[in-house]
Amino acid sequence: MDGQLRVGVLISGRGSNLQALLDACADPDFPARIVCVLSNNADAFGLQRAADAGVPTTVVSHKDYPNRKTFDAAVNDALGKFDVEFLCLAGFMRILDGQFVARWRDRMINIHPSLLPSFPGLDTHQRALDMGVKVAGCTVHFVRADADTGPIIAQAAVPLLPDDDAETLAARILVEEHDIYPRALRLCAEGRVSMKGDRAIIDA
């Protein structure tokens, strides 16, 4: 498909959301294609997923850089070699500095395993259980300098069941993550997401 959005995916671990994106982009009619997968962790299983799909991979280890700014600059340089136009964070366990986020403003999205703005940060599933909420879920949003903030593109909800623990809840939410992340990327690639102040407006 001509004019496909050139996407880079940043990962740190197993890459299950990366796999969902790879599967979606395998359809030649999908409006985006993944041109590289970058990890800060050379042992990330997601790198193997990318290689199996024929997608180039690169590793930029944060341990090789003295601070966040120089690491982020190296990541940006690596992405430039693949002419990346748009970024998806898929379990990328590094906080990106403000300059990097500003450079990719409205061209970088993240998936978070809660219904933001509730439960930003870590341990989202256990915190939801501890609070006794009746629904939990996941959110795809544009990235801003403050972690787990930014205009919301898509969300999916699941009910909390009486016998849920953090593991069972996480598993049900992960199914929804694998559904909404490719759908959100499609919306962005098709130019159906516009900004109105701090809100993302979806053109249905």
Tens of pLDDT along 159-180? 999 999 999 999 999 999 999 9
Residue that is written with structure tokens 């499609």 in the block: 186
Instruction: Find, among 98, 104, 122, the residue nearest to 112 by Cα.
Output: 122
pLDDT, tens digit (0-9, with 9 covering 90-100), for 41-82 = 999 999 999 999 999 999 999 999 999 999 999 999 999 999
Q: 145: which strand partners?
A: none
User: Structure tokens of 35?
Assistant: 């041109």
The fold of the 110-204 domain, in CATH, is Rossmann fold (3.40.50)
What whole-number distance in Å separates Cα of residue 112 and Cα of residue 120? 8
User: Mean per-residue pLDDT for 14-43?
Assistant: 97
Q: Which residues are catalytic?
A: 112
- Mean pLDDT calculated for residue range 12-21: 97
Q: Is 87 exposed, middle or buried (0-12, 13-18, 19+ CB in 10 A)?
A: buried
CATH number of 1-104: 3.40.50.170
Same fold, 1-104 and 110-204: yes
Q: Are 140 and 152 in contact (CB under 8 A)?
A: yes
What is the average pLDDT across 126-134? 97
Q: What are the residue boundaries of the structural domains of the chain, listed by start?
A: 1-104, 110-204
